[in-house]
Chains A and B, each alone.
Chain A
């Protein structure tokens, strides 16, 4: 494997690994805060058990999120030193603020995980909320750095030099608001459906139904609200991309030729050689509408962009289809959940629970697909229109080896984590089904 490709793959792998833990770290504290609140309010010990069971999972995820994030902050330099040399001072502002958010998160997490029965119970609850709020803040901040790569701002690029740097302007770049919104909603949708799916699977097996149903309701409600908002926010994002990165939009839609009343393609196999798409379902005028709010507007195709600036079309197109497909499916599932809250018998129906159980990984698959759209769609640029990814890569040879190494490490870690979660879930009856009154260990 050539070193440049290896560096890109290693970056993608590390980010793709981290984002899962980041989403969980941002969102689970809110689920816990709800069940914790219910326990504090009505004293039902099932909610206390749910909170504790979740918090153990979260401790595992947090540790993994923290170490994989630490790896990322080094990898930016290890793999893209030339990029960081110039970009660091410009897009660094959100990272320096993020440091504060992480710190507060780590402190609050210490209080929350180790503070059971040690502090005033509302203070303890509050520390859990702080974990969630600072996690969200750090997620939103770091997306700003990525948004800057998509829509650079806050400097003048003159003869290869970066002048008049203004880190505040760079932070409030054009792409940030919508990307952060879409990402935050995605975190809730993916984690919500993943957690709900695990509890649904346990209910299918008729294990601790009371415990799992209560947990399912909390997680699924969050997931459903997010999944209903997701397509709206995605539509805004797509319009934004059409304006700032026409090449990315064209790649998402495999839209090779500039055209008025452009059709929306569903599915299809892009053929980069002949610049056409086979077997796609076409909805006339829809792409013009989605991109510019007008059925007859002209949508720029890849033919308006020099060939050497084209992103890889098939990957971006497939990833976009996967994301939107899953988004639509989760939206349908959310509507069904709302119905189920009225028709209670659905909540114990096998087919209904099976559907949720099968949806467990979908949200995260959509997250990975969405980031593939964003990041691969930006290629060949690392900073859109300013610096090429190939010019940013480290001069050190042999990156392929480090890529293999990190792949092995991340695969092993994933296996261990799945194994640990499996054990946690298996032990739920042993740890939480004790008769009332007997003591519990934490």
Chain B
């Protein structure tokens, strides 16, 4: 059962990166869209994510629930040492979710829209930035369970080059995911070209930020290169990700939007696999101390049984409905609604 729970945890995190990430990315794209095109872009975006954004964000909650039920020690350690970035993440989530809905449901269109827009755009940037910072900190080895002073315990645990680089990388990936996703949502040929162009730019940005992550890993002595290249699975994942990237560039103008989406999703999944597999089962890397492992920091047997069953039963109910949701709103769009 523990493997089932761990698989679900991994899937929830990956799906949140992919779906929630594309969702954040849409806001990042909005940030980089010229005023000339902004209102059409907003409309396209609204049609693209309106019906599904709440469902996309459920993956985060699933991941958190799995953590606090199944791996309570990990959950409480991270809550203590990453308190500050978590609070910023939460504020970002509040701001973004509400601004997105408020701007659509405000019955009067006036300059309040400007306020909603800027809140939406900024929180779409800050939230994934801090999500990435948190993810980076979990691996960076800067969490110090024995720290005595405030700065070491609560600030440098997340404020370091590596974490920040991962944060930027996450933002770029979100933008990349979203722009590839939006290619398929474009209303006309001109938009189509715009989104392709965006996707290319975002991809270059993502590659640069990726390089930055490696650089920062060197500076902070995070054995990232070792994890990824010193491990057969990690290495193959990276090679596959690179291959899919090449394929993506050759196909980007082809109009095969589903293929593009699959490729970009595959690519991000491989990156996450490469990073997470190498130090499995360790989940949190702690400075000079006992890393928190998914095997040793586990809840008792009976809880894992119950949690695993709840997840399995839940999937049977959720997955068909979720696919039908995505499918319906895709199909209706093609039919020109």
Binding site for B on A (CB under 8 A): 56, 59-60, 62-64, 66-71, 73-78, 81-82, 84-90, 92-93, 95-100, 102-104, 106-111, 113-115, 118-119, 165-168, 394-397, 402, 405, 409, 413, 416, 420, 423-424, 426-427, 431
Contacts and interface: CB of A to CB of B under 8 A. Distances in A.
A405 B87 contact: yes
A67 B93 contact: yes
B83 A60 contact: no
Given A70-B57, A93-B306, A168-B306, A103 B322 contact: yes
Nearest to B76: A81
Nearest to B116: A416
Contacts of A426: 107-108
Nearest to A95: B65
B107 A66 contact: no
B129 to A, nearest CB: 17
Contacts of B60: 70
B83 A89 contact: no
Given A89-B70, A107-B321, A60 B55 contact: no
A73 B93 CA distance: 13
Contact of A68 (B69, B80, B94, B299): B94
Given A88-B75, A99-B62, A103-B55, 20 more contacts: A59-B105, A60-B102, A60-B105, A77-B78, A84-B72, A85-B76, A86-B72, A93-B303, A95-B68, A97-B314, A99-B61, A99-B310, A99-B314, A103-B58, A103-B62, A106-B57, A110-B54, A111-B51, A168-B306, A420-B105
B334 interface: no
Interface stretch (B187-195, B238-246, B281-289, B324-332): B324-332
Contact of B69 (A64, A74, A96, A394): A96
Given A63-B101, A73-B65, A96 B321 contact: no
Interface in B171-221: none
B17 interface: no
A382 to B, nearest CB: 14
* Chain A binding surface, main DSSP class: helix
B54 A88 contact: no
A165 B298 CA distance: 13
A66 to B, nearest CB: 6
A62 B54 contact: yes
Contact of B299 (A89, A111, A113): A89
Interface string B85-104: 01101110110011011101
B54 A74 contact: no
13 contacts: A59-B104, A73-B61, A78-B86, A81-B76, A85-B75, A88-B75, A99-B314, A103-B55, A106-B54, A110-B54, A110-B329, A394-B79, A427-B107
Contacts of B329: 110, 114
A121 to B, nearest CB: 15
A121 B90 CA distance: 37
Interface string B301-324: 011001100110110011001100
A250 B318 CA distance: 45
B31 to A, nearest CB: 21
Given A89-B300, A167-B302, A99 B68 contact: no
A405 B58 CA distance: 25
A71 B52 contact: no
Contacts of B104: 59
Nearest to B335: A118
Contacts of A59: 101, 104-105
A174 B322 CA distance: 35
Nearest to B106: A420
B222 interface: no
A100 B79 contact: no
A68 B80 CA distance: 20
Interface of B: 50-52, 54-55, 57-58, 60-62, 64-66, 68-70, 72-73, 75-80, 83, 86-87, 89-91, 93-94, 97-98, 100-102, 104-108, 150, 153-154, 299-300, 302-303, 306-307, 310-311, 313-314, 317-318, 321-322, 325, 328-329, 332, 337
Contacts, number: 205
Contacts of A96: 65-66, 69, 306-307, 310-311, 314
B332 A118 contact: yes
Given A88-B299, A90-B303, A96-B307, A397 B150 contact: yes
A427 B107 CA distance: 7
A394 B300 contact: no
B303 A74 contact: no
Given A416-B102, A420-B102, A165 B303 contact: yes
A103 B314 contact: yes
Contacts of B66: 96
Contact of A395 (B72, B80, B108): B80
A99 B77 CA distance: 23
Given A77-B79, A88-B299, A107 B72 contact: no
A60 B101 CA distance: 6
Nearest to B316: A100
Contacts of A416: 98, 102
A396 B154 CA distance: 8
Contacts of A118: 328, 332, 337
Contacts of B307: 92-93, 96, 167
A110 B299 contact: no
B97 A66 contact: yes
Nearest to A423: B107
A67 B127 CA distance: 13
B314 A409 contact: no
B61 A70 contact: yes
Contacts of B69: 88-89, 92-93, 95-96
A67 B97 CA distance: 7
Given A73-B65, A96-B311, A109 B54 contact: yes
A189 B93 CA distance: 30
Contact of A424 (B105, B317, B322): B105
Contacts of B108: 423, 426-427
A125 B69 CA distance: 35
Contact of B306 (A62, A68, A167): A167
Contact of B58 (A74, A106, A108): A106
